[in-house]
Structure 1
C-alpha cells in the first residue's frame, strides 16, 4: 500500500491516472519476466524487452527532468538511469478478457493557479487571460483549427453560439490569483493536453508561472462562478458590444437594454432589475495585448465606456455569467451574491 501511495505519476508528468491495490488477485497463469544478468543469454528466452530503471543511489534531480529538458541536453534518457533487459521466462496461460468500459468523464473547465510572490492586480486580468489563450494556441501548434481553445472551425471561420473557450480570471482581494478555461461545448483530449502542458504565461514585459489545479466540470473546478443565485454582481466591468444610437439612446437605458439582449442571446432569463453600483472601470485594461500587437483594433479593443452592475433575477440563475464585449476574456464577468 505504501508503494502505491508513493507513485507520483504514471508515464509523463502531466498524466492524470489512478492507482489501486488488487485485494483478490491470483498469481496462477500470469507471465513471468526475469531481469537478465550479464551471464544470461537473450536467445535463451522467447521474448525480451528493455525497461528504463534508475541507478542506485537515486539522482532525483535529473530523474525528474521533463523529456524536453533531457532532449535539449542531447540525451535520450535522463542522467542516472539505465536500461535493464528482461526475458520472458514463462508466458501467460490465462485468457485475456476485455476490461469493463469506464464512463467517459466530461470536462468543461481547467483551472490554473498563479505561482508568483507578487500577484497581478485585478485590473490587469485581461492581459493574463489573453496570455493564457496565446499559450494554449502555441501548445496546439498547427492543430489549433477546429478546437474549443482557438474558437475557430476547421475551415478557420469563427465558431458561433458561444460554446468555445472562455478565459476567465479568478480574483480575490483585488488580486489575480488564478485563471479558468471554461468551454460550454466540452474540451477535447487535444484541448486538455495543450492546457496541461502550459507552465508559464509571458510576453516581453512579464512572466508568471502557472500550474493546473483542477480539471472537470465547471461546478467542480470553479464553483464560485456557478451559483445558483438570484443576485449577481460584476467582478469586472461590463462593456456593451454595440454602439448606442445618437440622439436616441440615453446611456443607462442603453446599458440595461444591452444586458437584457445579451441574456436573451445566451438563452437566459431576463434580469428583473439592473443596478448601477459604480466602480473604477477606467483603471481596468480593456484590450487584448495580442490583438493590439497585430494591429487588430476592431476585435481586441473595447471602445465604449463600461459599468459595474448588479443583476437581480426572479428565480435562482446558474452561472458562469459573462456578458458584453470581450466576455470570452473575462470582461463582464459576474459572481453570485448571497
Structure 2
C-alpha cells in the first residue's frame, strides 16, 4: 500500500490528475433500482445510481460485512465521497416485467389482483459501470474503500447482484457514456437530464442512515440534508454482447420426475403410468421436431420406423415411496438423450390417460433432475454385489419345467443379452406379484389390433454377483416400462 501511495504522489507531482474509481459489474446483467420519490409502477430506473444510493450501500456493507473497520476512517471516507462523482455507463437497454399479486379482495374470495412493474436496465454481463471521484484518498481510506467494494453484494435492489472493486487504472471503453453533474450555467435546453439524489456538504450521517419508514412517519418525502443534482442522462443503446462459448452437447442418460397428487397411485400401476409417460414424451418430441419421424431413443424406434433392440433406448421406470405409492418417475436412456429430446421432456407437466383407458386420473409431474446416471439415479446405481427386485421380474417367454429353474435360466439369459455378468445365486421370494399390472393399457385398449389379456407370472428376485456391479438395470418382460427393475440390496 505504501508503494501505491508513493506512485500516486509521484504522478501528482508530474501534474497528472489522480482519481478514485469504483468499478461495478452486474453479475446477472441486470440492474434494478427505483428512483427515490417515484412509485415502482412508474417503471423508472435510476441510472446511473445516485450518489445517495452509493453512499448508503457502502455504509450498509460496512455495518454488515466489515464492522471491524475503524469508525473514524469510514466516516471520513464517506464524507469525502459525498462530493458528486462522474459516471461511465456501458451500453444498456431498459426493460420490465409485470407481476400480478393477490390482494386482500382476492383473499376474501373476489377475483382481484394488483399489478406491479419490475423495471431494470440490461447490460452485457461483462460490462463495467464506473463511478469516479476527481481526487485521491489517503492510504487508510483507500484500503477501507477497497474492502467495502469487494464486500458489496448488490447495488440497487437485491436482484442487482454485483462484483465491485477499487481500480485506479481503469479506463472507459469507446462505447461508455459519460454522465457528469451539470451546472445551471450549462446550456440544458438541448440536454436530456436525470436528477439524482445527492447529499449536501458536509455529509449528515444521521440523515444517510435514516430509514424510509421513519421519514414517511415524519411526513418527509426526501431525507434531510439532501438535494437533487442534474446529470446528463445516458441514452439507451444495444449492449455489445460478448460471444459466448456454446458447449458441445453431452447426451443425457437420466431424467427424474416427481409426481404431485393428493393420492398417489399404487406402485402396482407402474406400467400404466410409465405407458402414459412414454405417450407424453413421444407427443412432445413430435411437436418439437415438427412431426418429423426420425431416430428417437424416447420412442425406441430408428429412422426407418423399426423398433430398437439393443436396450440403449429409453426405460420408463416408476419408483415407490415407503408406503409403496408411486412417487417418482425416471427415464433412463443408456444411449443418452439428444438435446431436442430433453427439451421435449421438460415440457411434460401432466400425464392424462388416453380417452377410454381405465386407471388413475390425470397426474401432475415436474422434471426434478437430469444429468449423468450416478448423480440422478444414485439410489439405483450401486455398486453392489446383492441386488433386489424393486418391481417383479416377469419372464418374457412361456414358463417351462420347474418354475425356479426357469426363472434362473431367464435371468442368466437376460443378463447376458445386456452384457452383464452372471450371478452366483438367484433367490426367489414370495412377494405378491399379482398386484402389478403386466400389460400396457395403450396396447390392450388400442382401437386397432388391441392386445388381449395375457397372464404372465412374475417373481420377486434377489441376485448376488461375484463382484460389485454398477447399475441401474431392468430385466424381463416390460423392462422398459417399470417391471423387472432392480436396486442395490446393500452397497459394497
**Match of 1:238?**
393
DSSP 3-state at the match of 1:112? strand
Runs of 4+ in 1 over 4 A off after TM superposition: 1-7, 27-30, 79-84, 86-92, 295-298
Deviations 1:226-255 (A, max 9, x none): 11100011111111112245xxx3222111
Superposition RMSD on alpha carbons, in Å? 3.4
Partner of residue 320, structure 2: 171
Distance 1:91 1:28 in 2: 16
Whole-angstrom CA distance in 1 between matches of 2:303 and 2:235: 47
Cα distance, 1:91–1:197 mapped onto 2, change above 3 Å: closer
Show CA shifts across 1:2-45 (max 9, x none). 995999xxxxxxxxxxxxxxxxxxx9795354x5xxxxxxxxxx
What SS class does the counterpart of residue 108 from structure 1 fall into? strand
Unaligned stretches of 5+ residues in structure 1: 8-26, 36-50, 62-78
> How many aligned positions are there?
276
| C-alpha distance after superposition, 1:155-204 (max 9, x if no partner) | 10111210000001111221111000010000111111111000111115
Asked if 1:265 corresponds to 2:417, the answer is yes
Higher relative contact order (CA 8 A, sep 6+): 1
User: For residues 170 and 144 of structure 1, what CA distance do their matches in structure 2 show?
Assistant: 30
Match of 2:258 among 113, 129, 135: 113
Q: Are 1:214 and 2:369 an aligned pair?
A: yes
Map of 1:54 onto structure 2: 97
**Secondary structure of the equivalent of 1:261?**
helix
Shift of residue 270 of structure 1? 0.1
Distance 2:379 2:395 in 1: 24
**Partner deviation per Cα, 1:104-146 (whole Å, 9 max, x = no partner):** 4441111000011211111111111111001111112224541
Report whether the alignment pairs 1:253 with 2:253. Answer: no
Q: Which residues of structure 2 form unaligned runs of 5+? A: 1-24, 32-86, 103-114, 123-233
For the residues of structure 2 that align with 1:282 and 1:336, how far apart are their CA atoms? 23
CA-CA distance at 1:293 after TM superposition? 1.6
Q: Distance in 1 between matches of 2:449 and 2:458?
A: 20
**Residue 161 (structure 1) aligned to one of 284, 288, 310:** 310
- Whether the aligned pair in 2 keeps the contact of 1:322 and 1:331 (CA below 8 Å) is yes
SS at match of 1:155: coil
2:79 equivalent in structure 1: none
Give the TM-score taking structure 1 as reference length.
Answer: 0.72
Cα deviation digits, residues 259-284 of structure 1 (max 9, x gap):
00000000000010000111111111
Partners of 1:81 and 1:304 lie apart in 2 by 60
SS in 2 for 1:180: strand
Match of 1:281 in 2: 433
- The answer on 1:227 being equivalent to 2:382 is yes
Bigger mean CA offset, 216-225 vs 263-272: 216-225
Q: Which has the larger radius of gyration?
A: 2
Partners in 2 of 1:88 and 1:261 — Cα distance? 72
Of the three residues 185, 188, 193, the one matched with 2:338 is 188
TM-score (norm 2): 0.51
Contact 2:251 2:339 survives alignment (8 Å): no
Distance 1:123 1:91 in 2: 57
Q: Partners of 1:219 and 1:273 in 2: how far apart?
A: 26
